[in-house]
Amino acid sequence: MTLQEAEKTIQELSQKINYYNERYYLHHESLISDYEFDKMLQDLILLENQYPTLKKTDSPSQRVGGGITKNFDTVVHRYPMLSLSNTYNEEELTQFGERVEKGLRDVNDLENLEYICELKFDGVAISILYENGILTRAVTRGDGVQGDEVTANVRTIRNLPLRLEAADVPPIFEVRGEIFMPKEQFEQLNLEIEEENKIRTQKGIAALRLLANPRNAASGAIKMQDSAQVAKRGLRCYVYEIYGEKLPFVSHEQGLKALESWKFEVSPHWKKVQKMEEAIAFIQSWEQKRFSLPLDTDGMVVKVNLLAQRESLGLTAKSPRWAIAYKYKPQNALTILQSVDFQVGRTGAVTPVANLKPVKLAGTTVKRATLHNADEIQRLDLHIGDSVWIEKSGEIIPKITGIDKSRRPLAVQPIAFPTLCPECNTTLVKEIDQVAFYCPNETACPPQVCGKIVHFTHRKAMNIESLGEKTIQAFYAQGWLQNVADLYDLDPEKILTLPNFKEKSVQNIIEGLEKSKQQPFKNLLFALGIRYIGKTTADILADYFGSMQKIEQASKEEIASIYGIGEKVAESLYDFFQNAENQRLISRLAQAGLQMAGQQKVLSSDILAGKSFVVSGTFTQYDREEIKEVIKNNGGKVVSGVSAKVDFLLAGDKAGDSKLKKAQELKVTILSETDFIALLNATEA
């Protein structure tokens, strides 16, 4: 095939795929079988791989992903992503209407006041840039001023056009919308995870965590590093706003219709109204109906329709004066508290869990609810047999929010918080300024010992997949595991004597343990499960000290002086290493061959706080990712494009011409690598 022929075929295939994709995702029509569709896509991908110069960023092959992004670039939004002011009651909606009218009357612009009511989608906000009809950039909300660039991931979303064909498409504009995982898709994925977990349990491998809710699932997916994985998550996007210079519309309604005509998916359930009473009636009409939609919604947004009126009303620091979000009350139900269990976690904290008479709530049956701690039980004045209100607000586990005391039976029992650990009978303690009761028997309380070992094996810790919770409990029951160092003394011959353990699974366990010895030092520090030391804190400590030995020798004051480390962490870390038993544990781990040192990194500080950098070119002392890390470790921000808001362009060898030129035009300070190092040292001194 000649290059010309390949180009033509690629074009034809792309057109066909785009057409069928649109029919399917926007019009719900399957004109060809999945097989035929996948075949076309395969052919296209093959051809593009053969002729890489012909691969375009708007090719439908982008839908299947493939690129890996290690760190997402931080990008400043062209138009800040504001939030909406919220209300839970109708009175405030009326007041909002009055404010809008007053605002417009003051500038003599009250005529033709109309509102558009739209559902408020519960997903992940996204801003997508189209240049000359092509999707070129997608950025998450972040802090509203700047967010993460997730373009490759967003290109996999099937109902978003990668290229716009219409003649009236403006040369440059941004759309705002909500990325979501359809409820059905969410449930399907959780079923798959459950199936996978059955196999994992059989093999004794750690179980995967279920997705908590569709919104978390969507926000997790959009931040995945591997876009091919994102493509498999079935995300979708509804768009609801368009931003740009000199757009050819006078109203939001026109904008929505144009977006739809350009083949974006706009949720069809919006309504134009003249009066706030109509908006309120529309809101009420959706309170129950919304549960039949394919995605979660948590309210209704009421927006002024005419763009000129929006302009007159303007913005406050955080939100526009021309829109408001009405939030539906969380779904609740009344049921009976049957009993309370007390669970002991890895850290020894005792958490009360309510067992409820099963009740339906927002589509699922609820049997248990968290009670958080003893104070909460007292605050609620909770008794066994009480009729309790439970509420679900986003989280997967509902909470008890109140009691209907009028339904309290005559003979109710108070809930006695145990004074002894329900697992090991040790007297519980409560620390000053803490609400939780703890079991102090760290080294012999079964759920604490097993919990610590399970934590040690987690992916972000030592990543020992072949050791699941059940296996750890089984080994503990045999008396083989008292702490994490015992893992490395496990005897494969003995394991083989247990039922359910075959050659292969034992081999996996031993290999997993062997491999874990190469996990970086910072993972080991996190894996130890020291109180208050999560992954981020462990990373900071590992970068600062560089080795276990240095941490062991550090004073409490030195630890507390590290940027990003508080007193509580310092005390906990210091105490951990003062304890003789822990010292023995560490030396056994060292003997087993685990990584006791890593690389000491540039000290962290906040000396670059509030400063933003664009990094371009190559450097001698650092590679590009490293220098970005240095900026971030010292409190600065890294953004991808030069704008007037950027403080510095850090220009290495072969820095981009256009970036240099733009920096000069906008009077952004240009730093060389030497300047940068001098800046760090100067400000440090």
Q: Which residues bind ligand IVH (CB under 6 A)?
A: 82-84, 118, 120-121, 125, 141, 178, 240-241, 301, 320, 323, 325
Query: In whole angstroms, how close is the CB of 238 to ligand IVH at the nearest point?
Result: 8
Rg over CA atoms, the chain? 29
For residues 652 and 674, give the distance between their C-alpha atoms in angstroms, rounded to a whole number. Answer: 10
| Residue 642 CB contacts under 8 Å (≥ 6 apart), including other chains | 614, 649, 659, 662, 663, 666, 668
Shorter beta-carbon distance to ligand IVH: residue 314 or 363: 314
Provide the terminal-to-terminal Cα distance of the chain, rounded to the nearest Å.
Answer: 65
Query: In whole angstroms, how close is the CB of 483 to ligand IVH at the nearest point?
Result: 46
Long-range contact set of residues 574-580: C-beta below 8 Å, sequence gap at least 24: 576/528, 576/530, 576/531, 577/551, 577/552
Residue 47: C-alpha distances to residues 37, 351, 506 (Å): 16, 58, 45
Tokens of residue 364, six digits: 């699922």
Query: In whole angstroms, how close is the CB of 632 to ligand IVH at the nearest point?
Result: 25
Shorter beta-carbon distance to ligand IVH: residue 240 or 619: 240
Query: In whole angstroms, how close is the CB of 184 to ligand IVH at the nearest point?
Result: 20
In the annotation, is 327 catalytic?
A: no
Angle at 626 between CA 625 and CA 629, to 5 degrees: 90
Query: In whole angstroms, how close is the CB of 107 to ligand IVH at the nearest point?
Result: 20
Query: In whole angstroms, how close is the CB of 245 to ligand IVH at the nearest point?
Result: 18
Shorter beta-carbon distance to ligand IVH: residue 4 or 292: 292
Q: Is 193 exposed, middle or buried (0-12, 13-18, 19+ CB in 10 A)?
A: middle
Query: In whole angstroms, how close is the CB of 257 to ligand IVH at the nearest point?
Result: 15
Strand order in the sheet with 134-140: 134-140, 124-131, 172-180, 236-243
- Three-state SS for 105-127 is HHCCCCCCCCEEEEEEECCEEEE
Shorter beta-carbon distance to ligand IVH: residue 56 or 223: 223
For residues 128 and 242, give the distance between their C-alpha atoms in angstroms, rounded to a whole number. Answer: 9
Shorter beta-carbon distance to ligand IVH: residue 320 or 385: 320
475 CA to centre of own chain: 34
| Residue 402 CB contacts under 8 Å (≥ 6 apart), including other chains | 380, 388, 389
* DSSP H or E run through 505: helix 503-516
Shorter beta-carbon distance to ligand IVH: residue 295 or 594: 295
- Any idea which residue has 């921000």 for tokens? 637
Query: In whole angstroms, how close is the CB of 449 to ligand IVH at the nearest point?
Result: 44
Strand ranges (DSSP E) for 19-123?
A: 74-76, 86-87, 115-121
* CB closest to ligand IVH, residue no: 125
Helices and strands: H and E segment counts in the chain: 24, 24
| 364-370 and 349-361 beta bridge pairing | antiparallel
Shorter beta-carbon distance to ligand IVH: residue 280 or 541: 280
Query: In whole angstroms, how close is the CB of 82 to ligand IVH at the nearest point?
Result: 4
Helix (H, G, I), strand (E, B) or coil at 136: strand
Angle at 234 between CA 147 and CA 170, to 5 degrees: 55
Shorter beta-carbon distance to ligand IVH: residue 80 or 422: 80
DSSP 168-228: T--SEEEEEEEEE--HHHHHHHHHHHHHHHHHHHHHTPPPPPPP--HHHHHHHHHT-SBHH
Shorter beta-carbon distance to ligand IVH: residue 137 or 176: 176
Question: Which is catalytic among the residues 120, 263, 303, 659?
Answer: 120
CB atoms near residue 496 (< 10 Å): 12
DSSP lists the bridge partners of residue 472 as none
Shorter beta-carbon distance to ligand IVH: residue 30 or 83: 83
Query: In whole angstroms, how close is the CB of 304 to ligand IVH at the nearest point?
Result: 11
* DSSP H or E run through 668: none
Nearest Cα to 473, choosing from 448, 509, 443?
Answer: 448
* DSSP H or E run through 402: strand 399-403
Residues annotated catalytic, as ranges: 120
